Amino acid sequence: MKMKWLALVLGTSLALAACGGNDDAADKEPAGENNETTTAGAGDAAKVYENKCSSCHAVNLEGGVGPNLTKVGSKLSKADIEKVIANGQGGMPKGIIQGKEASMVAEWLAGHK
């Protein structure tokens, strides 16, 4: 029973610490640039994912605390992924990333089939 309690406390602490970060520099969009997603945008999406999502889903998308995302694009569309990011699902809190970043990450993840 003590092990289950310890696992619950540690897991909850990890999820709250990892998913609650707010990186102001990553949230700011440079002035004067267009909002098109390009090859550089895919790199930006990977960086946002690494900074905000990889603590639960792993850098290689294979999962950990959160589910495996290596083939998420074969199960969910970009719109579906955006809904999960916006509303949360299971143990994932809502709104970890928002706006353009959420759209970029959803598009990037939708390409993983």
As annotated, the binding site for heme c includes 53, 56-57, 92
Q: Cα separation of 79 and 110, whole Å?
A: 9
97 in Cβ contact with 52 (< 8 Å): yes
CA angle 73, 87, 113 (to 5 degrees): 5
Give the CA-trace dihedral at 8, 98, 47, 15, to 10 degrees. Answer: -10
51 in Cβ contact with 23 (< 8 Å): yes
Residues at the binding site are 53, 56-57, 92
**Can you read off the two tokens belonging to residue 85?**
């990011």
